[in-house]
Amino acid sequence: MRFRARVLGVHFGGNVVILNPDDMEELETSINERVRVKCSGMEFSATVCGSRQLIQRGEVGIPENIATFYGIADGDIVEVRPSSIPASIEYIKKKIDGKSLTYEEISSIVKDMVRGNLSDIEIIAFILSEQFHGMSVDEIEYLARAIAESGVQADFEEPVYDKHSIGGVPGNKVSLLIVPIVAAAGLLIPKTSSKAITSPAGTADTMEVLAPVEFSVEELVKIVKKTKGAIVWAGGLNICPADDIFIRVQRPLMLDPEPHMIASMMSKKIALGIDFLVIDIPMGKETKVETKEHAIRLARKFTELGERLNIHVECGITYGGQPVGHAVGPALEAREALLALEGKGPSSLIEKSTALAGILFEMGGLAPRGRGKDLAKRILESGRALKKMREIIEAQGGNPDIKPDDIPVGDHRAVIEAPCDGYVTDVSNAAITKIARAAGAPRDKGAGVVIRYKRGHKVKKGEPILEIYAERESKLSEAYSLAVKLNPITIEGMLLYRYPDFEFS
């Protein structure tokens, strides 16, 4: 059937069209069923919604974001017809049953997803099947290759280095030090990052405070050939559009199954032609990897997968028992990273950054094994890394002269004080993450927390131990209430709860 397009000022996550129920009946389709939509040579699959109030007979409602993507204008003639169920649905069901998938089956799922043939519900079903049943190394390789093949690929025409973290520790802004340290030594390091899914700030969220992060592959190549380094958002490059869809669907439930996390990371390395890769695996309480045994198993998977993909991979198992540095949240972390590049940052951030950069130096032959960290520290202490970071910021369109105090943070601030004298015995990763996100991070760049004292420090009663920043009063109130409830920082000797004044929900 042919319909006149009516572009609606709404945005939907997946491909959706809206029909009048009478037209749906004539078309022999129902709500949530699939249709094929064709207009001006473009064709895509969509899920049907219905409305008598919004849509008259003979009209098809197209959400604004979908109309823009497919080039459909208000009033265009659009053909809509029922669509058959794609074969990839059977492969998703197969994985839900706990069975292994072939490369062809996984590739079919990824291709159908990119073409808009799968609904968000079907995509999340596939992700949950990974969560509950896991994936073999073969399947992870197939998924990584399929995601990489969904978009364009880069060619830098020389050896390419990279660092990536599996995440799970708040405040982990080490890439903002590692990239300029490595680039200052002459190695090419085009760092791409996703925006935060489960954390208060991804690397791209933090770098975006200092400079634009959205570029095409051609623009990235140009930047990196000029500066040797870049820190950009992977979603803007179109290198792995399938991964962008997965991330969008995962975000509401804050899902990140280990097999998918590995495939997602490695797909971007394939697309960027990475030759040498160091992977940061933070280990500790309330991280993605809580035990040494788990860390080693994960490191083996990464190195084996690297061999299959012709990427030299080494893993750094790092301390993750508390946040890295003191700042959590995009603007606060950007401030702290600049301070560290100026030689004034916290030791935990500097030690971790130089250790991981040192592994890349050893992989690249710039330092003998065990001496790479020394070289990384010399470059940082000499000011060469700060100079290189300013070059990168300028090349990406930011202000190269920006100083830490120039970075605005949330106007609304609350302080949590020490309830007694004592020593800090624990800083909860999970609680800090929840509080920073409640304050508005990463969406609100100025939101987040500053941890004044970490494990082992002596504090006095009434001394500030946690500062919360927010851009909105309502978010500050929410975050403060959560901080009072969660007790993110434990001080030896402090009273944790008083019953019946406090009830566990």
Q: Which residues form the catalytic set?
A: 256
| Lookup: tokens for 449 | 């927390």
Residue with tokens 């903002």: 176
H or E stretch covering 78: strand 77-82
Burial of 495 (C-beta count, 10 Å sphere; 0-12/13-18/19+): exposed
Burial of 504 (C-beta count, 10 Å sphere; 0-12/13-18/19+): exposed
Helix (H, G, I), strand (E, B) or coil at 484: helix
3-state helix, strand, coil in the chain (%, to 5): 45, 20, 35
User: What is the distance between the alpha carbons of residues 85 and 90, in angstroms, rounded to a whole number?
Assistant: 9
User: What is the distance between the alpha carbons of residues 74 and 81, in angstroms, rounded to a whole number?
Assistant: 19
Q: The sheet that has 448-451: what strands, in order across it? A: 327-328, 448-451, 464-470, 412-417
DSSP 161-213: EEEEE---STT--THHHHHHHHHHTT-BEEEEEPPPSSSS--HHHHHHHHS--
| Lookup: tokens for 76 | 């265009």
Contact predicate 470/481, CB 8 Å? no
| CA dihedral over 418, 419, 421, 422, signed as positive or negative | negative
| CA dihedral over 401, 405, 406, 409, signed as positive or negative | positive
User: What is the distance between the alpha carbons of residues 193 and 234, in angstroms, rounded to a whole number?
Assistant: 5
User: What is the distance between the alpha carbons of residues 216 and 194, in angstroms, rounded to a whole number?
Assistant: 15
Contact predicate 467/415, CB 8 Å? yes
Phi-psi region of 324 (alpha: psi -120 to 50; beta: other; left: phi over 0): beta
Q: How far is CA 77 from CA 19, 25, 74, 81, 335, in A?
A: 14, 20, 9, 13, 52
| Lookup: tokens for 306 | 């690297």
Contact predicate 459/422, CB 8 Å? yes
